Amino acid sequence: MTGAGDFDLLLVPPRPRTGWRVLPARVTAMCVVELQKLRHDRTELYTRAVQPALWLLIFGETFTRIKVIPTGGIPYLDYLAPGIIAQSTMFIAIFYGIQIIWERDSGVLTKLLVTPTPRVALVTGKAFAAGVKAMIQAVVVVLIAALLGVSMTWNPLRLAGVIVVVLLGSAFFSCLSVTIAGIVLTRDRLMGIGQAITMPLFFASNALYPTTAMPDWLRYISVINPLSYEVDALRGLLLGIPSDLPLDFVVLFAAAAIGITAASGLLGRLAR
């Protein structure tokens, strides 16, 4: 039975990567796994496309017609599309913590925690893996929007900016989710909290309407909501309407960094 094959390679330990090289290697490993899983099971890809399609098709088309939302002169559907990209990628990221808890329960995460992977590298890897999923979702929504006649940019530089924004946004929201997972520890509780916060995050942002149309208290909330900055950046990049891109990028970078730090700190709790 065994001994049939050679196992000379297994006798020599691999040479460890050191220093800064560890992080990109782990991020790549986590993203590869995410893509492999998606290749084997694409159902999630299709079911996830339904909601944003409905938002654009029904909500978008209707409000384009009745013209009650001040969009600064562009069709409401165009205005809405970046908001729906941000919203639907946020949904994916927020529920990423559930996958992490599943991986904890099944032992997959436990084993990864025993590899030469610092917590920060593992969390960053997972955050980017969530970003990979979000990015595919973003492409799907862009395509749906294009089909509905939204005219967005095809400038490669701007699209690269879109990728960065979506990655940073989902890094923040997936780390938020992992942080909550590290606090509540069970899937059911995380599911409940996830459901409780997604809608408020969505409505307390500029995804559906400009902040100028909000009552004061809601506007204050939207100022501290990273989703607002993500939407603002996406609108600026995809539609070319005035937006504060430098501020958006700074806020998204900071949010992602804070999220990764918090999640790394709490990841150990999931292992116990």
Partner 1 sequence: MRDDTPAVSCTGLSYSFGQTKAVDGLDLTVVSGEVFGLLGPNGAGKTTAIRCVTTLLPVPSGMVKVFGYDAATEQMAVRRLLGYVPQQLSADGGLTGRENVSLFARVFDVSRRERAARVGQALEVVGLADAADRLAATYSGGMVRRLELAQALVSSPRLLMLDEPTIGLDPIARTSVWEHILAVRAATGMTVLVTTHYMDEADQYCDRIALMHHGRVRALGTPEQLTDDLRARLGDGSSPTLEDVFRDVAGSGLNEGGGEFRDVRRTRNTASRVG
Q: Is 26 in the site for partner 1 (CB under 8 A)?
A: yes
Q: Is 216 in the site for partner 1 (CB under 8 A)?
A: no
Which of 69, 185 has the CB closer to partner 1?
Answer: 185
- Binding part of the chain for partner 1, among 9-17, 78-86, 221-229, 250-258 by CB under 8 A, reads 9-17
- CB within 8 Å of 115: residues ≥ 6 apart: none
Q: Which of 118, 192, 200, 242 binds partner 1 (CB under 8 A)?
A: 118
Rounded distance, CA 14 to CA 270, Å? 29
End-to-end CA distance of the chain: 38
- Write out the two tokens for 138: 């973003």
Q: Is 10 in the site for partner 1 (CB under 8 A)?
A: yes
Question: At its nearest, how many Å lie between partner 1 and the CB of residue 106?
Answer: 6
Q: Which residues of 40-57 are buried (b: 16+ CB within 10 A; e: fewer)?
A: eeeeeeeebbeebbebbe
Question: Phi and psi at residue 84, in whole multiples of 5°?
Answer: -75, -35
Cα→Cα distances 125→91, 106, 176, 185, 191, Å: 19, 19, 15, 20, 22
Q: Which of 192, 200, 242, 268 binds partner 1 (CB under 8 A)?
A: 268
Q: Which of 29, 74, 98, 218 binds partner 1 (CB under 8 A)?
A: 29
Q: Is 19 in the site for partner 1 (CB under 8 A)?
A: no
Which of 38, 183 has the CB closer to partner 1?
Answer: 38
Total Cβ atoms within 10 A of residue 39:
8
Question: Phi and psi at residue 231, in whole multiples of 5°?
Answer: -60, -45
Q: Is 28 in the site for partner 1 (CB under 8 A)?
A: yes
Q: Is 224 in the site for partner 1 (CB under 8 A)?
A: no
Which of 24, 240 has the CB closer to partner 1?
Answer: 24
Place of tokens 């400009």: 210
Based on C-alpha coordinates, what's the Rg of the chain? 20
Q: Is 149 in the site for partner 1 (CB under 8 A)?
A: no
Q: Is 4 in the site for partner 1 (CB under 8 A)?
A: yes
- Binding part of the chain for partner 1, among 68-76, 107-115, 194-202, 259-267 by CB under 8 A, reads 107-115
Residues that bind partner 1 (rule: CB under 8 A) add up to a total of: 44
Rounded distance, CA 170 to CA 230, Å? 10
- Binding part of the chain for partner 1, among 116-124, 134-142, 190-198, 255-263 by CB under 8 A, reads 116-124
Question: At its nearest, how many Å lie between partner 1 and the CB of residue 80?
Answer: 34
Using CA of residue 153, residue 156, residue 162, residue 163, what is the dihedral sign?
Answer: positive
Contact residues toward partner 1 (CB under 8 A) are 1-17, 25-26, 28-29, 32-33, 36-37, 40-41, 103, 105-108, 110-118, 268, 271-272
